[in-house]
Chains A and B, each alone.
Chain A
Amino acid sequence: MSKHLIDLQNISKSFGNHLVLDEMNLYIRENEFLTLLGPSGCGKTTTLRIIGGFENPDVGKVIFDGKDITRLAPNKRQLNTVFQKYALFTHMTIAENIAFGLRIKKKSKAYIDDKIKYALKLVNLEEYGSRYPESLSGGQQQRVAIARAIVNEPKVLLLDEPLGALDLKLRQDMQYELIRLKKELGITFVYVTHDQEEALTMSDTIVVMNQGYIQQIGTPEMIYNEPENAFVADFIGDSNIISSTMIQDELVEILGVKFPCVDKGFGENKPVDVVIRPEDVELTTDVEKGRIQGVVSHIIFKGVHYEMEVMANGFEWLVHSTSCFPVGEKVGINVDPFNIQIMNKPESEDEEAVGVEE
């Protein structure tokens, strides 16, 4: 789990004068499930296309298994791609689609037939071998695209939003299928999505991107619990991001009220951003016991919990709670010191561009 299989070194890429990737550095370890996560247009597909060999970086190197493959043709790379819009061969049957890579490699007929059978079974499409892609649903086509890639036993599988076209139920099923596949086949996955829940569920490592910059790299837990900046906090799940002042170590002033916290080393009276997850905001009807007092302004039932908005000290707090507080009710707000996440405010202009757009 430690060897670097792919190394992106200092990759920059522009289209015209639009800088899409800016000095990107990223390594992908063997057997890792790595997810590129970010909003539409942030450069995820471009990154994948550079790894796959369909795009040349302007600057930088792609190292694969110790070798520089930056200029290597896609057909000579030991990896396969599941494209964002399937890209199936419409003039071939499903079986022929799956066999394509193996036929190019001149495998024996018996081997190919075996592999087709195995792959169709793997993606639950046993009956569909002789059908044509256009007669399949979006989800089925997507599974064919996955089967077509994995029969080649690549070292790395690149997947570009492979579940984007599926409905929620099928998407969840396929998420489990993909994780199972990965365990069974032992290949490295580089996965692109803009769905943060999907990223958190499936990945070993998440790379959060915005506008061509990497914002944070880490395990799902790290990304969720300790976002490094306001963009990551905002993008990964709902959160309250409040401009505040760090009074001293372990004490932060939020909306004019002092809160004890656990972070240190930010200096004294420094402006910071505070992130508080909505499920970490505690409400109490015993108004005086709250550190801040507010009024419930909205409530929606979400199934597992209620989602509420509470107006307090000029800020609309987003709150998730299993108990229901009616609109108009006066409530007190408390936050456990462990659940207050302090982040440096972006300083330079460059960093600002990387940060949140509100």
Chain B
Amino acid sequence: MKNNKAVKLLSAPYIVWAAAFIIIPLLMVFYYGLTNRDGQFTFANVLAIQQTEHFKSLYLALILALISTVICILLAYPLAMILSSLKGKNEHLVVFIFILPMWMNFLLRTMAWQTLLENDGVINTVLQFLHMPKMHIINTPSAIVFGMVYNFLPFMVLPLYNVLNKIDINVINAARDLGANPFQTFIRITLPLSVPGIISGITMVFVPSLTTFVVSEMLGGSKILLIGNVIEQEFTQNSNWNLGSGLSIVLMLFIIISMIMSAIFDKNGEGNTL
């Protein structure tokens, strides 16, 4: 192992980087979350999640994230199947078109939805023009789900596309050969083989949906508070870093649980794309 030293030396900058921007902030979150303003150890900040308003915001965030994830799966699966069935030149172009919006700024995209969904926004103007009743979407949970689905859909499509693309066409043919009709082939072969992609897509949509505060703030008005908004407000408006950190630890717990689940189901890392 002659290279060991060189490897260590080369990895040094990354270790410094990781320490500065991941480990130290994480330790600080834990420090603040588990102490009170006087610096004494306490579980109070973490247990504050039991307060009705905090609990409600966590509950709502979980529900909306769940709904968004389910909608994403339902939209992304057929899309990914279509993408993976496009062979030849067009395939890369179409995939590229799907990735394209991801390069646009997240805030800009969400702001665009704001103007689209507003009471006097684009959608309602069109509806009015067609003499149809106006829809009240902005500042409702539906608007937030809209924003989440729109923003995170590509993160569901890509891992699904990736696993579907890797399935050998002859494996599908073998199932047909053994008597399975297209539906049976899908249920017994394609779906189980794409589980790693589904799992990795779920994590990649569920985690950012659960923790977002931008989407809920811009499309939900300030009335609908998700756990992300509560934490953000504790840090910025109330300057209560201890409470903010305590609630973050709770949220982290949920993230870790979903990560562990994804690691269990996707042992080979087959769904990884990004």
Q: Which residues of A contact B (CB under 8 A)?
A: 52-54, 73-75, 80-81, 83-85, 87-91, 100-101, 104-105, 148-149, 152
- Contact A74:B173 (CB < 8 A) given known A101-B178, A104-B178, A152-B179: yes
Quick check: B178 and A152 within 8 Å, CB to CB? Answer: yes
Quick check: B177 and A89 within 8 Å, CB to CB? Answer: no
B175, B176, B179, B181: which contacts A89 (Cβ < 8 A)? B175
Quick check: B173 and A83 within 8 Å, CB to CB? Answer: yes
Quick check: B180 and A104 within 8 Å, CB to CB? Answer: yes
In the bound assembly, the distance between CA atoms of A209 and B21 in angstroms comes to 66
- Contact A87:B168 (CB < 8 A) given known A75-B181, A104-B184: yes
- Contact A80:B178 (CB < 8 A) given known A87-B168, A89-B189, A90-B193: yes
Distance (whole angstroms) from the CB of A100 to the closest CB of chain B: 5
| Interface size band for B | 10 to 19
Provide the residues of chain A in CB contact with B174, threshold 8 Å: 81, 83, 87-89, 148
Q: Which residue of chain B lies nearest to A148 when distances are taken between CB atoms in the complex?
A: B178
Provide the residues of chain A in CB contact with B175, threshold 8 Å: 89, 100
Q: Which residue of chain B lies nearest to A145 when distances are taken between CB atoms in the complex?
A: B174
User: Is B192 engaged at the interface, CB distance under 8 Å to the other chain?
Assistant: yes
Quick check: B173 and A100 within 8 Å, CB to CB? Answer: no
In the bound assembly, the distance between CA atoms of A149 and B179 in angstroms comes to 11
Provide the residues of chain B in CB contact with A104, threshold 8 Å: 178-180, 184
Distance (whole angstroms) from the CB of A147 to the closest CB of chain B: 12
Quick check: A105 and B192 within 8 Å, CB to CB? Answer: no
Quick check: B177 and A74 within 8 Å, CB to CB? Answer: yes
In the bound assembly, the distance between CA atoms of A73 and B170 in angstroms comes to 15
Distance (whole angstroms) from the CB of A248 to the closest CB of chain B: 56
In the bound assembly, the distance between CA atoms of A112 and B190 in angstroms comes to 23
- Contact A87:B176 (CB < 8 A) given known A75-B181, A104-B184: no
Closest 8 CB pairs of A and B: A101-B178, A87-B170, A87-B174, A74-B176, A104-B179, A83-B170, A81-B177, A91-B192
Q: Which residue of chain B lies nearest to A99 when distances are taken between CB atoms in the complex?
A: B178
In the bound assembly, the distance between CA atoms of A152 and B178 in angstroms comes to 8
- Contact A75:B176 (CB < 8 A) given known A89-B189, A90-B193, A91-B193: yes
Q: Which residue of chain B lies nearest to A98 when distances are taken between CB atoms in the complex?
A: B178
Most buried by B among A89, A148, A149: A89
Quick check: B171 and A89 within 8 Å, CB to CB? Answer: yes
Quick check: B171 and A87 within 8 Å, CB to CB? Answer: yes
B171, B176, B184, B192: which contacts A73 (Cβ < 8 A)? B176
Provide the residues of chain B in CB contact with A100, threshold 8 Å: 175, 178, 180, 188
Quick check: B179 and A101 within 8 Å, CB to CB? Answer: yes
Quick check: B173 and A54 within 8 Å, CB to CB? Answer: yes
Interface residues of B in 189-207 (CB under 8 A from A): 189, 192-193
Provide the residues of chain A in CB contact with B178, threshold 8 Å: 75, 80, 100-101, 104, 148-149, 152
In the bound assembly, the distance between CA atoms of A122 and B167 in angstroms comes to 29
Distance (whole angstroms) from the CB of A197 to the closest CB of chain B: 26
In the bound assembly, the distance between CA atoms of A146 and B181 in angstroms comes to 21
- Contact A85:B170 (CB < 8 A) given known A91-B192, A91-B193, A104-B184: yes
Provide the residues of chain A in CB contact with B170, threshold 8 Å: 83-85, 87
Q: Which residue of chain A lies nearest to B184 when distances are taken between CB atoms in the complex?
A: A104
Interface residues of B in 132-164 (CB under 8 A from A): none
Quick check: B173 and A87 within 8 Å, CB to CB? Answer: yes
In the bound assembly, the distance between CA atoms of A80 and B170 in angstroms comes to 13
Question: Given A75-B176, A89-B175, A149-B177, 6 more contacts at CB 8 Å?
Answer: A52-B177, A75-B179, A84-B170, A88-B174, A148-B174, A148-B178
Provide the residues of chain A in CB contact with B168, threshold 8 Å: 85, 87
In the bound assembly, the distance between CA atoms of A229 and B188 in angstroms comes to 49
Most buried by B among A53, A87, A90, A149: A87
In the bound assembly, the distance between CA atoms of A91 and B196 in angstroms comes to 11
Q: Which residue of chain A lies nearest to B191 when distances are taken between CB atoms in the complex?
A: A91
In the bound assembly, the distance between CA atoms of A84 and B179 in angstroms comes to 19
Provide the residues of chain B in CB contact with A152, threshold 8 Å: 178-179
Distance (whole angstroms) from the CB of A346 to the closest CB of chain B: 36
Q: Which residue of chain B lies nearest to A100 when distances are taken between CB atoms in the complex?
A: B178
In the bound assembly, the distance between CA atoms of A87 and B193 in angstroms comes to 13
Q: Which residue of chain A lies nearest to B192 when distances are taken between CB atoms in the complex?
A: A91
In the bound assembly, the distance between CA atoms of A81 and B188 in angstroms comes to 19
Distance (whole angstroms) from the CB of A97 to the closest CB of chain B: 9
Provide the residues of chain B in CB contact with A88, threshold 8 Å: 171, 174
A52, A85, A90, A105: which contacts B179 (Cβ < 8 A)? A105
Quick check: B192 and A75 within 8 Å, CB to CB? Answer: no
Distance (whole angstroms) from the CB of A247 to the closest CB of chain B: 55
